[in-house]
Structures are given as structure tokens and as C-alpha cells.
Chain A
């Protein structure tokens, strides 16, 4: 996927100026940068949710999006929220239910399938949002700080669930965060943005994910490089 000469402003605020970037298809591409630098804007451009100048070149179709604010329908329970994005594509109710059962097991929400969003904790809502993104047949997955505000144990669990789901069909992921360590453990590519969305670093990581840790020599070197630029 390629961003070519993207320009984007909201009124007088210029967010992206001649932004060019190539991401790796079917890998986890991580964009990190300070708050307000334009990360969400980049995802919205890919999702065609906002106007912009320039071009996004992509061959892949179907987009799932884990929004920064989960965006679950308040009037539908967990199961129906998942079915909502599925029923237009999958006409067979039994098939839909099979998929929902399977994904709810993976995100460990099978017990709460009849609960409405307001009855769930923030972390649970994030898991529903993730389940919805994966249940929808798509080749591209946009994730906007999906692990934000979780305690460490829950974050570990959710990251494990994410990797398990991702390995099933290797969607092209654009994963936005301002947590450097999260990025170091997950990303195949890390792009670091400055406060005005210039690309400060663009590094590919080819270390197997289960061999990574923050004490790994290459990872910790990269970590230092990122912090020097942040």
C-alpha cells in the first residue's frame, strides 16, 4: 500500500504535507507519533472517511477498522453488534452464528454475548470492536490505539488474541499507537512521525515475533533510536 503526495488540512490546520509512505502488504505496519500528529487522520484517509488530496494506492479490498472510540451500536448486544456487519455479506444465519461463536471464544466474551455495550467494561468493548474487525471479511485492518488504557495483564491477553486472529488470514495491518513498546513487540515495520507528521524513522523489523522482547539487543537498540527522535 502506498501513500502518494497526500495533503490534508482541516480548515486552516494543515495536518499532512506531501506525505509519502509505502507500507508492506499482509504485515503489521505500525505508525507511532505524538498525540495530534495526524495518525488517526492517516487511517481515516485509507478508510475514505475524510476528504484529502493525493492518492492512496492499494490493491487490497475490504477494510476493517478498530476505531479509537469503539463505535459499538448501543442498541444491540455483543452478538448482534457482530452480526450487524456480517448480515449484508453472509446471508446464511447459521454460518453467521458459527463465525460469531468462534470469534467470541477467541476474545473470551462468549459469556457476555447477550450484554449491551453499556454493560461492558472499556476493555471488553475494545475486544468486541476487535472481534467485529476480524469477523468482517477484509484484507486491510486499521487499528487506532486498540490497546489503550488497559492494564498490563489485559493488554497481554488482548495482544495474544489479536495475533491469533491475525495469523489466520494475514491482513495488511496499519496499527497506530503512541506506545513505543507495543510497536516494538508487534510491528514488521515501524514508522515514526514528528509532531507535524514528517517521517522521522521508517524501519523494517525482521525478528520473529515470539523471539522478541525489550531486552533483545536489536530491539533495545531500535528502542533507543526511537526515543532519541521522539
Chain B
């Protein structure tokens, strides 16, 4: 391993150490467990939680909601980005929708969807409303940033559409596709959890956090937060690994 690789490993560890040091010192100064529990306390709580069935049920359901809403956002974004690159009218039709959906206050959407949907659907709907335009914009710009010179070259050599798409377009946009997905997936987790809190979704990390708060069980709340961070991080790593497997040329 080169020095650079060691440093790449070292920096996050240092950052983590600093974070925990600050937490520890703050907890020592404040000395009120309800406001800021000791890190050890939070991890002890996490270890207790991990042994309960409720913990895994909540995580499983939240994860399932994340996957469903993300899959729908991603598929639709991909489809519509491809269509609007091919047909300008689709692009012009979609761009105001995307702008509006970005401008609408998240809270009003949450309240509205609480009226319209069950508490099970609401988190997915909200995550979709925010993640879909983000992914759509990312995919659209990836498709439209394809090097025009290379398209020209392909046409000059009379390469068939099928080969242009399979050997050039798809592999060419793959890296930016994964980059968009990677930043959207952890946002998706956060949105689902936030919406779960507000819509009181049964079997959810959001509601578990809410309950901890009601009982002033701050250590549990932080334990759940750590679980959520680890979940997002693992999802991002999974995407990064997929990218490594699919993109061998960068």
C-alpha cells in the first residue's frame, strides 16, 4: 500500500477520533445525561438495541421503504432523462415540473401526503418527491454531457445505433450515474426517517427515535442515530462497490 492509501484511511479515523473527543469533553462538562449522554452510554444502549427484535424490524422496514422509493425514483428518472434527451418536448414539459417540485416546501408536501396517503406510503412519497428531481437532473446532464466529438466520430464511421448505445453511451454515462445514485441514496434514508417521524409510521426507525425522545431516553435516540448513519454509510459503500465492478475504465 502506498502512503496515500494509508492517509486515506487515516484521515477519517482522525476525524472520528476528534468527533468522539469533542463529544466526550462536552458530555463531561454538561454532566446531564438527558441532554448529552456519554458516548459509552450511547454505545451501550446501541448494543442493547441490537439484541431486540424491534430494532431489526424497524431497520428492515425503513430499508424496504428506502429501496422501494429509491427504485421508483431511479427508474423513472432514468426513463424520463433518456426520453427528454431524445425528444425536446418531453424536456420542456418536465422542466417546470422539476422546478416546482424543488420549490415546494417539504413540510406542506408532508402534511398533504399525510392527508392523502397512509402513514406507510407517505415516507416513500416524500422521498420520491425530493429524490426523483435530483436524480432526473443528474441523469439528464450526464446524458447531455456525452462528448459531441465522439458522437460525430461514431456517425462518421457509420456505427449502428445499437452498438453506439451499448458500447458507448451506456458505459460512458455509468460513472456519473453511480455518482448521482451514491449521493441520492443516503439522502433518501434521511428523508424516509424524517417522514416516518412525522407520519408516525408503524415499524420504522423514525418512530423509534420519536419514542426515545418522548421518554427522554437521549442515549437511545443517539443509538438510533448511529444506526441510521451506519445504514447510510453501508448503502453508499454498496453503491461504490457496484461502481467499481461496473466501471473498469476510470
Interface residues of A (CB under 8 A from B): 47, 49, 63-65, 67, 69, 71, 73-77, 80, 84-85, 87-89, 116, 118, 132, 136
Contacts and interface: CB of A to CB of B under 8 A. Distances in A.
A63 B167 CA distance: 21
B150 A85 contact: no
Contacts of B171: 75-76
Nearest to A87: B163
A65 B172 CA distance: 22
A69 B149 contact: yes
Nearest to B162: A88
B246 to A, nearest CB: 11
Interface stretch (B14-22, B82-90, B153-161, B203-211): B153-161
Nearest to B155: A49
Contacts, number: 51
Contact of A49 (B156, B158, B160): B156
Given A47-B156, A84-B163, A88-B159, A75 B168 contact: yes
Given A84-B167, A87-B163, 14 more contacts: A47-B156, A49-B152, A67-B149, A67-B153, A73-B150, A75-B168, A75-B171, A77-B249, A84-B154, A84-B163, A87-B159, A88-B163, A116-B249, A136-B157
Nearest to A65: B156
Interface residues of B, number: 18
Nearest to A136: B157
A63 B152 CA distance: 13
Contacts of A49: 152, 156
A203 B172 CA distance: 45
Contacts of B152: 49, 71
B157 A71 contact: no
A85 B157 contact: yes
A116 B171 CA distance: 13
Interface in B197-250: 249-250
Interface of B: 149-150, 152-154, 156-160, 163, 167-168, 171-172, 174, 249-250
Contacts of A136: 157
Contacts of A74: 172, 249-250
B156 A73 contact: no
A76 B167 contact: yes
Contact of B172 (A75, A85, A116): A75
Contacts of B149: 67, 69, 71
B159 A71 contact: no
A69 B158 CA distance: 19
B241 to A, nearest CB: 19
Contacts of B158: 88-89
The 10 closest A-B pairs by CB, nearest first: A85-B157, A75-B171, A88-B160, A71-B153, A75-B249, A116-B249, A71-B149, A88-B159, A75-B172, A65-B156
A71 B150 contact: yes
Contact of A84 (B156, B159, B172, B250): B159
A42 to B, nearest CB: 15
Nearest to A64: B157
Nearest to B170: A75
Given A75-B171, A76-B167, A63 B159 contact: no
Contact of A73 (B160, B167, B250): B167
